[in-house]
Structure 1
């Protein structure tokens, strides 16, 4: 039903028919007030049918002159409305004299066109409604095209941001695998290749437009950290603290990975003794709070953001993605960790994954 109403041609025939049907009802009710005979119903029906029929050519004429200049278009509409009004009036009065007056003839033939001003008004009203509806449909179509183009650009931006995998990560991982092969650590190298494959499969096949449950993001984070653990061994310590019930919370895919990558780069790789990364998730009212904290040297912060651009593209990338997905309903803030280090806090609306039972 909805698709049928979206068809513009079908819309015309429905509105065209309803309009003339309404005209017939109003005319017949008016005849009852004037206490005319029942035969007038036939006259009203014929008048409305003729009006329905005679205005159809207007549609195809207006389609052809749609792009004419305004003054030329207005003159053509006035001329067409007047000509059709005169024809319609003459036939209406002929029906009136032949059917309602049983073949009597008026003394003056001008009586056949006595209602032309009224008919002209009806034709102009029909034309005004046609152009008004057509302009509205055109504006809606342009608006829909604009929204579609905006959405496509929005999706392209999100995909570009999401697929900015750090080439240094791949380079370091492949180097680590090569080193493991050279020192005959084939089993460890094989595990690392498997985890890298799983992580890349996850990152490439998850649509950046759709959100995923937090538990899937934690799974991807663990894959990434297991790869890095092979490189840093005991120098990298990881702790997860997920509040019960947050596992099904929907988050942007790979939203944690660039934050963890930054923590490894600035808090683990830069220190001889390595460092610890803590990933936390909890609910706060109608929001989900995510936190990635480290015990590294930290950095200078101003108004919740790093003072310099030395933090890399990870934070900028993450903020742009959150802005594209949640507009202004999010927060990304950097704070100092205690006793040392950096914390990255994200607040997004809490949206829970719907289970199969809820769908049913």
Structure 2
């Protein structure tokens, strides 16, 4: 049935046939009330069949005049409807006199079109239904096109935001690998290249439109932080606090990445003794709470947002991605960490990844 209603041509034939079948049933029930003879059933069937036939050309005529001006369209519909109604009435009365009255024809030939007003309203109703359904279909089609265009725009925006990888990260990593090679730390350099390769593969092959399990995001975060740890050594301390049961929660791919980059830049690289980055995930009712905290110098905050643009594009991109994916059902808030530093909190709806077993 879904396939039938998705095909507008099949939809027309189905509704067209059901409409005239309904007309025949109503006329038949009316004939029972009037206690007419059985022969009248033949007239009713022929009426519906002729009506079914002569309204088919109306469809193709209306398709040709669909884009005409309203007044011209309305005038043409009334004219064509009157003509078709007169033809249908004449055929009905001919059948009535020949079949029901057994050839007892009237003397006045105008009696063959005496019921034209009734037929006119029937044909006008058919025309009204046709234009109403066609207008509704056109409106739905335009809505679908609009939604598709909006989704494509969101997809392009998300991809642009997601692929804005920090060029400084790549530069610093390659520079660190080069340094390791020069001092003959080939094993460490090899591990760093492998981790960089895995991280880039993850970042490039994960579609930003599709959400991924949190455990995959944590995997990517660990790869990134392990690369950075080679650069900062003991100056970088990492803490993960992932509440059991949140591993299968769906999150936007690389949503933590810009937040960790900011923490590295402002809380670790800027301090002689380095710093600590803590990544937390936990459930809160029907929501998932993610947090990236550091013990750096922090920044000025007003109403949960940075007071200035010194946080870079990371937070802006993250907020825009969340808005595109969750509309208004999310929150991104900055707070002061204790005793010092900055915390970035993200709240999104808790959606759990379904396993193959659950699908089955």
* Pairwise TM-score range, normalised by the shorter structure: over 0.9
Query: Partner residue of 1:281?
Result: 281
Query: Partner residue of 1:97?
Result: 97
Query: Structure 1 residue 65: deviation in Å?
Result: 0.9
The answer to whether 1:256 aligns with 2:256 is: yes
Query: 1:123-272 alignment to 2 at 5 Å?
Result: 123-272=123-272
Query: Structure 1 residue 111: deviation in Å?
Result: 1.1
Query: Structure 1 residue 105: deviation in Å?
Result: 1.5
Q: What secondary structure does 1:208 align onto?
A: coil
Query: Partner residue of 1:327?
Result: 327
For 1:330 and 1:230, locate their aligned partners in 2 and report how far apart those are by CA, in whole Å: 35
Q: What secondary structure does 1:245 align onto?
A: coil
Q: Report Cα offsets for 1:203-230 as digits up to 9, x if no partner.
A: 0001111111111111000000010001
Query: Partner residue of 2:52?
Result: 52
Q: Structure 1: which 5+ residue stretches go unaligned?
A: none
Query: Structure 1 residue 137: deviation in Å?
Result: 0.6
For 2:351 and 2:74, locate their aligned partners in 1 and report how far apart those are by CA, in whole Å: 54
For 1:132 and 1:272, locate their aligned partners in 2 and report how far apart those are by CA, in whole Å: 73
Runs (4+) of structure 1 moved beyond 2 Å?
A: none
For 2:17 and 2:74, locate their aligned partners in 1 and report how far apart those are by CA, in whole Å: 25
For 2:75 and 2:299, locate their aligned partners in 1 and report how far apart those are by CA, in whole Å: 73
For 1:243 and 1:55, locate their aligned partners in 2 and report how far apart those are by CA, in whole Å: 67
Query: Partner residue of 1:36?
Result: 36
Query: Partner residue of 2:354?
Result: 354
Q: Report Cα offsets for 1:86-143 as digits up to 9, x if no partner.
A: 1111111010011001111213222111101111111111111111111111111001
For 1:264 and 1:15, locate their aligned partners in 2 and report how far apart those are by CA, in whole Å: 65
For 1:4 and 1:13, locate their aligned partners in 2 and report how far apart those are by CA, in whole Å: 10
The answer to whether 1:2 aligns with 2:5 is: no
For 1:68 and 1:282, locate their aligned partners in 2 and report how far apart those are by CA, in whole Å: 61
Query: Partner residue of 1:106?
Result: 106
For 1:236 and 1:314, locate their aligned partners in 2 and report how far apart those are by CA, in whole Å: 20
For 1:258 and 1:55, locate their aligned partners in 2 and report how far apart those are by CA, in whole Å: 64
The answer to whether 1:16 aligns with 2:13 is: no
For 1:49 and 1:133, locate their aligned partners in 2 and report how far apart those are by CA, in whole Å: 22
Cα RMSD for the two superposed structures: 0.8
Query: Structure 1 residue 171: deviation in Å?
Result: 0.5
Query: Structure 1 residue 349: deviation in Å?
Result: 1.0
Q: What secondary structure does 2:291 align onto?
A: strand
For 2:67 and 2:179, locate their aligned partners in 1 and report how far apart those are by CA, in whole Å: 71
Q: Structure 2: which 5+ residue stretches go unaligned?
A: none
For 2:67 and 2:256, locate their aligned partners in 1 and report how far apart those are by CA, in whole Å: 54
Query: Structure 1 residue 285: deviation in Å?
Result: 1.1
For 1:108 and 1:298, locate their aligned partners in 2 and report how far apart those are by CA, in whole Å: 100
For 1:359 and 1:53, locate their aligned partners in 2 and report how far apart those are by CA, in whole Å: 48
Q: What secondary structure does 2:89 align onto?
A: helix
TM-score by length of 2: 0.99
TM-score by length of 1: 0.99
Q: Report Cα offsets for 1:146-192 as digits up to 9, x if no partner.
A: 01000100111111111110001001101111111111111111111
The answer to whether 1:62 aligns with 2:54 is: no
Q: What secondary structure does 2:310 align onto?
A: helix
For 1:322 and 1:208, locate their aligned partners in 2 and report how far apart those are by CA, in whole Å: 11
For 2:293 and 2:303, locate their aligned partners in 1 and report how far apart those are by CA, in whole Å: 18
